Chains A and B, each alone.
Chain A
Amino acid sequence: MADKLTVATTSLAGCFGCHMSFLDIDERILALAEVARFDRSPLTDVKHCGDRVDLGLVEGGVCNAENVHTLREFRQHCRILVAMGACAINGGLPALRNPIALEECLQASYLDGIGIENPQIPNDVELPLLLDKVHPIHEVVRVDYFLPGCPPSADVIWTFLSDLAAGREPSLPRELIHYD
Chain B
Amino acid sequence: MTKPTIQIDGKPVTFTEGQTIMEAATAAGFYIPHLCHNPEFEPHGSCKLCTVKVNGRNCSACTFPAADGQEVLNDTAELNALRRTITQLLFVEGNHLCPSCEKSGNCQLQATAYFLGMTDAHFPFFYPRRELDASHPDILLDRDRCIFCALCVRASRDVDGKNVFAIAGRGIDSRLIVNSPSGKLADTPIATTDKATRVCPVGAILIKRHGFEVPIGDRVYDRHTIAEESLEREEPIVEARHG
Residues on A close to B: CB < 8 A?
83, 86, 89-93, 95-96, 98-100, 133, 136, 138-139, 143, 145-148, 150, 172, 174, 177-180
Contacts of A172 in B (CB 8 A): 117, 119
- Contact check, B127 vs A93: say whether CB atoms are below 8 A apart: no
Interface residues of B (CB under 8 A from A): 91, 95-101, 104-105, 110, 113-115, 117-122, 124-125, 127-129, 216, 225
Contact between chains at A174 and B97 (CB < 8 Å):
no
Contact A90 B117 (CB under 8 A): no
Does A150 lie within 8 Å of B98, measured CB to CB? yes
One of B120, B216, B225 near A174 (C-beta < 8 A): B225
Across the A-B interface, the 6 shortest Cβ-Cβ residue pairs = A99-B129, A150-B99, A146-B120, A179-B98, A98-B127, A180-B104
* Chain B neighbourhood of A139, CB < 8 A: 124-125
Q: When A95-B127, A99-B128 are in contact, do A177 and B97 touch as well, CB less than 8 Å?
A: no
Check if B125 sits within 8 Å of A99, measured CB to CB.
no
* B119–A86 CB distance below 8 A: no
Considering only CB atoms, which chain B residue lies closest to A177 in the complex? B114
Contacts of B115 in A (CB 8 A): 174
**Distance A143 CA – B91 CA, assembled complex (angstroms):** 18
Number of A-B residue pairs with CB-CB distance less than 8 Å in the complex they form:
73
Chain B nearest CB from A15 CB (Å) reads 10
Bound Cα distance from A83 to B118, whole angstroms: 14
Which chain A residue lies CB-closest to B219?
A180
| Nearest A residue to B91, CB-CB | A90
By the criterion CB–CB under 8 Å, are B120 and A95 in contact?
no
B128 touches A90 (CB 8 A): no
How far is the CB of A97 from the nearest CB of chain B, in Å?
10
Q: Please state if B125 and A86 are interface contacts (CB–CB under 8 Å).
A: no
The answer to whether B225 and A91 have CB atoms under 8 Å apart is no
The reply to whether A133 and B127 contact each other, CB–CB distance below 8 Å, is yes
Q: In whole angstroms, how far apart are the Cα atoms of A41 and B52 in the complex?
A: 47
Q: Which residue of B lies closest to A143 (CB)?
A: B120
Is the beta-carbon distance between B121 and A89 smaller than 8 angstroms? yes
Closest to A91 in B: B125
**26 residue pairs bridging A and B, Cβ less than 8 Å apart:** A86-B99, A90-B97, A90-B120, A93-B97, A95-B95, A95-B97, A96-B95, A96-B97, A96-B100, A99-B95, A99-B129, A136-B125, A139-B124, A150-B98, A150-B99, A177-B118, A177-B119, A179-B98, A179-B99, A179-B104, A179-B110, A179-B113, A180-B98, A180-B99, A180-B101, A180-B110
A177 contacts across to B, CB distance below 8 A: 113-114, 117-119
Q: Which of A93, A136, A146 contacts B119 (CB 8 A)?
A: A146
A90, chain B: closest CB distance, angstroms: 6
